[in-house]
Amino acid sequence: MKTAFCALPALGTLLAVLTPHTSFAADEQVKMNQVQVIGTHNSYRRSIAPSTLEWLKKQSPKMAEALDYQHGTIPAQLDGGVRQLEIDIYADSTGKRYAHPKGAAWQQKAGLTPDQNLSDIAENQGTDFKVMHIVDIDQRSSCEPLRNCLMVIKAWSDAHPNHLPLYIDIETKQDVPLKNGAFTKPEQFTPATYDKLDAELLSVFGRDRILTPDDVRGTYPTLNEAIRKRGWPTLAYGRGKVVFTFDRPHDTARYLTGHPSLRGRVVFTNGRPGDPDAAYTEANEGFVGMAGNGSAEVNNAAALHQIQDLVKQGYLVRTRSDANTVEARQNDTARRDVAFQSGAQIISTDYPSFEPAPWHNFTVAFPGGVIARCNPVTAPATCTAADVAE
């Protein structure tokens, strides 16, 4: 069957992007789902404001512990070898919904002095997609709004044209935090909101720099059939491109409206295995296609079996090696080790090698400190470290 990603670039373009560390032949033999990379969770997130952390310790000590992590700038993470980023976004069609965060008033009421009056920050105004973790209390981001984050990533990609496919996981924040009605209620995404999101992604990167569901589906009736029968594109096709994914299944139904099997869409859904749109899925707590945020108890043995089964079927899987600072505080590497063994192509952490945890220097890195490695479950026997290098 004719494929959608077999065309070769012009010779001049090809020579421009190749480096001594890669070979065209190897790139054509290894597919995107036959590689393992490390990503970061909430990649945009700076440290929570000290006054907010103190306030949280009084309200919910467990939550305060879970939020006690941070990341450097996105370019620094990419330079360090991260090849998957996660960005949380909020819709704001009126430009006013998040303009006056409530956290400062809550802290003052508790006798604390807020570190910063976020209501004066320009990024909280306007109708752009806002980038933050939790409304009212956890808004510190290294880039804001979404368009600026995308431009930062695009600039890095332009400077590194031979990079491995770069995955950008988008979490659309639509739920009231902690199911507590005192928080600002996030705006719900509609099909029109998703249209706006697609347009923004395309406006920054351009169609040729994004690997979309249409590219992977080709002439197959559904995306799911394509990845099961033919598989994912090769590294040769994916280098220098970005791949957008959704973090939560709650996006799927509305994002698919008018776009069966993601036809014409830009982002891969967190699909339920077997569904027409399913090519990418997340297994963060030992289950897939369901709500979850990394906080559930993890059954490592079950997760190992499940993820291995999914990747053997052709799915691209993202999993987490740690969550809520739990593993880092306990120096527990079991979940990390299972993630490595499972064949999940994307392993997300709060602690990449260059950002060790303050407890036990806990980190998540491949042996030898490589950026990527041949997938232990799906890679061909001929795959070598040089084949997946940059």
- Taken as a whole, the chain contains a residue count of 390
Q: Is residue 135's pLDDT more than 70?
A: yes
**What's 138's DSSP letter?**
B
What is the pTM assigned to this prediction?
0.91
pLDDT tens, position by position, 77-102? 999 999 999 999 999 999 989 988 89
Cis ω before 145 (30° cut-off from 0): yes
* Bigger pLDDT: 303 vs 227: 227
Q: Name the phi and psi angles at 339, rounded to 5.
A: -60, -45
Q: Rounded mean pLDDT of 43-54?
A: 95
Hey, how many other C-beta atoms are within 10 angstroms of the C-beta on 155?
12
Look at 154-158, 281-285, 314-318 and tell me which has the smallest mean pLDDT. 281-285
pLDDT tier, 115 (very low <50, low <70, confident <90, very high otherwise): confident
Q: Is residue 323's pLDDT more than 80?
A: yes
- CA atoms 34, 14, 202, 223: torsion sign: negative
- CA atoms 21, 24, 28, 31: torsion sign: positive
Cβ distance 168 to 123 under 8 Å?
no
Q: Is residue 121's pLDDT more than 90?
A: no
pLDDT of residue 297: 60
- Token pair of 327, please? 């593993």
- CA atoms 314, 205, 237, 388: torsion sign: negative
* Conformation bin of residue 312: beta by default, left when phi > 0, alpha when psi is -120 to 50: alpha
pLDDT of residue 45: 97
pLDDT of residue 124: 73
pLDDT tens, position by position, 328-342? 999 999 999 999 999
Average pLDDT of the chain, as a whole number: 90
C-alpha neighbours within 13 Å on the C-beta side of residue 377: 24
Output the DSSP codes for 246-266: ES-GGGHHHHHTT-GGGTT-S
- Token pair of 94, please? 């009126």
Nearest to 4 by CA among 217, 192, 171: 217
Cβ distance 195 to 203 under 8 Å?
no
Cβ distance 239 to 27 under 8 Å?
yes
pLDDT of residue 289: 38
pLDDT of residue 290: 39
Nearest to 51 by CA among 98, 104, 102: 104
What are the start-end ranges of the H helices in the chain?
11-17, 24-29, 50-59, 61-66, 74-79, 103-109, 146-159, 191-205, 213-217, 223-229, 235-238, 252-256, 300-313, 326-330, 334-342
pLDDT of residue 285: 58
**In angstroms, what CA-CA distances link 278 with 73, 290, 293?**
32, 13, 20
pLDDT of residue 20: 36
pLDDT of residue 123: 64
- CA atoms 152, 154, 158, 163: torsion sign: positive
Q: Is 63 helix (H, G, I), strand (E, B) or coil?
A: helix
- CA atoms 198, 204, 207, 211: torsion sign: negative
Q: Rounded mean pLDDT of 277-300?
A: 66
Look at 97-106, 110-119, 233-242, 306-315 and tell me which has the smallest mean pLDDT. 110-119
User: For residues 303 and 310, what is the distance between their CA atoms, to the nearest angstrom?
Assistant: 10
Could you give all domains of the chain from N- to C-terminal order, each with its CATH number?
A: 23-387 (3.20.20.190)
Angle between helices 191-205 and 146-159 (to 10 degrees): 30
pLDDT of residue 292: 46
pLDDT of residue 287: 40
Query: Nearest 5 degrees, angle CA 69-CA 74-CA 79?
Result: 110
Percent of the chain with pLDDT over 70: 87
Nearest to 341 by CA among 314, 315, 380, 311: 311
pLDDT tier, 117 (very low <50, low <70, confident <90, very high otherwise): low
* Conformation bin of residue 92: beta by default, left when phi > 0, alpha when psi is -120 to 50: beta
pLDDT of residue 178: 82
